[in-house]
């Protein structure tokens, strides 16, 4: 019993804290008071601070490098670095906060990226068959770009991905559930979305009937939708929220969301698989000293 008691006390404390945070958010909305909303967000920021330099230094090299790869790819202020998307490059321009994921999976594979010279070797005779200008052979990037864009390419873009990326089976080595990256993006404040605050936000958005006049009376679906929309707009004065494509949940995190990072066995290259609202793709990075340089990114799926 003595061993269990501290856990019971901690659980009660966390439950009471969550209730206070929810009450503060509810009060902010009812008053339409963005100052109170800022207070709620400051509580959130203090509860989930980004990892400190000293904490990061204590992690294994693998985890430190995963943080570095994430930092190189996670650029919501410059979404164009990962390709062109229908919402443009400024979807978070007028927002003060980014809502950042707190989970990340790390994988290892024998090889995750095929260097350019190997791509050219595997392309072999197809360059001449497809009528690619011989003058491009002096510029590897131009040759590969022409190969990718050529509509007569029998392999197609999707199959060429198999040339660029190893077919080796990747192995999951880390499943981080308390991922709190240091974000330096255009002066915004990062809010790390743990399970407590995710539940608070979902409950706030989904519990529309409690704020309708004449509580207890049956309300139309349209009335509930309108109130839910108003609550979403209230939160979006500070950070962006996306509706789900198929309905049923809210996309609270600020994109790109990086689902997994796969390193090669020598940790020279890394592949970051990301989601961008209703579509996603992969990015390849190369390690240069203590930094990771983005080499290439492309779309690979859409809902």
pLDDT of residue 3: 59
Considering the domain boundaries, does residue 126 fall inside one? yes
pLDDT of residue 296: 82
Closest CA to 225 of 236, 235, 233, 217: 233
Residue with tokens 């022409």: 146
Considering the domain boundaries, does residue 118 fall inside one? yes
Considering the domain boundaries, does residue 171 fall inside one? no
- What is the three-class DSSP state of 264? strand
Q: How many CB atoms lie within 10 A of CB 230?
A: 13
Structural domain including 144 reads 114-164
Considering the domain boundaries, does residue 121 fall inside one? yes
Considering the domain boundaries, does residue 198 fall inside one? no
The terminus-to-terminus CA distance of the chain in angstroms comes to 50
Pair 28, 38: CB distance under 8 Å? no
Domain count, the chain: 1
Considering the domain boundaries, does residue 36 fall inside one? no
- Specify which residues 107 forms β-bridges with: 172, 262
Per-residue pLDDT of the chain (303 residues; tens, 9 = 90+): 555 655 444 344 445 677 899 999 999 999 999 999 999 999 999 999 999 999 999 999 999 999 999 999 999 988 888 888 877 888 898 999 999 999 999 999 888 876 666 656 655 555 554 444 444 444 555 655 655 555 444 443 444 455 455 545 789 999 999 999 998 777 889 999 999 999 999 999 987 655 555 555 566 777 788 888 999 999 999 999 998 877 778 999 999 999 999 999 999 999 999 999 998 888 989 999 889 999 888 888 888
Pair 153, 161: CB distance under 8 Å? no
Considering the domain boundaries, does residue 84 fall inside one? no
Chain centroid, CA 235 distance in Å: 19
Tokens representing 92 are 């978070």
Buried b (16+ CB within 10 A) or exposed e, 60-95: eeebebbbbbbbbbbbbbebeebeebeeeeebbeeb
């Amino acid at each position: 019993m003595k061993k269990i008691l501290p856990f019971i006390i901690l659980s009660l404390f966390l439950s009471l804290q969550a209730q206070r945070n929810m009450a503060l958010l509810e009060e902010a909305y009812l008053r339409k008071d963005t100052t109170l909303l800022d207070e709620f967000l400051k509580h959130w920021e203090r509860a989930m601070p980004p990892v400190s330099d000293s904490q990061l230094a204590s992690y294994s090299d693998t985890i430190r490098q995963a943080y570095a790869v994430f930092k190189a790819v996670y650029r919501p202020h410059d979404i164009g670095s990962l390709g062109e998307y229908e919402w443009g490059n400024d979807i978070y321009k007028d927002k003060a906060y980014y809502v950042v994921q707190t989970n990340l999976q790390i994988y290892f594979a024998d090889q995750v990226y095929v260097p350019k010279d190997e791509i050219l070797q595997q392309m072999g005779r197809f360059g001449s068959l497809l009528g690619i200008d011989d003058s491009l052979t002096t510029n590897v990037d131009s040759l590969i770009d022409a190969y990718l864009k050529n509509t007569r390419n029998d392999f197609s873009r999707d199959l060429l991905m198999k040339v660029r990326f190893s077919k080796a089976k990747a192995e999951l080595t880390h499943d981080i559930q308390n991922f709190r990256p240091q974000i330096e993006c255009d002066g915004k404040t990062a809010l790390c979305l743990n399970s407590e605050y995710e539940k608070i936000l979902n409950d706030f958005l989904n519990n529309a009937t409690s704020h309708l006049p004449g509580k207890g009376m049956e309300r139309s679906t349209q009335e509930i939708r309108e109130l839910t929309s108003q609550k979403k707009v209230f939160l979006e004065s500070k950070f962006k929220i996306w509706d789900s494509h198929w309905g049923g949940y809210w996309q609270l995190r600020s994109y790109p969301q990086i689902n997994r990072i796969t390193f090669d066995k020598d940790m020279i290259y890394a592949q970051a698989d990301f989601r961008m609202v209703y579509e996603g793709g992969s990015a390849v990075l190369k390690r240069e000293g203590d930094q990771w340089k983005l080499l290439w990114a492309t779309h690979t799926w859409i809902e």
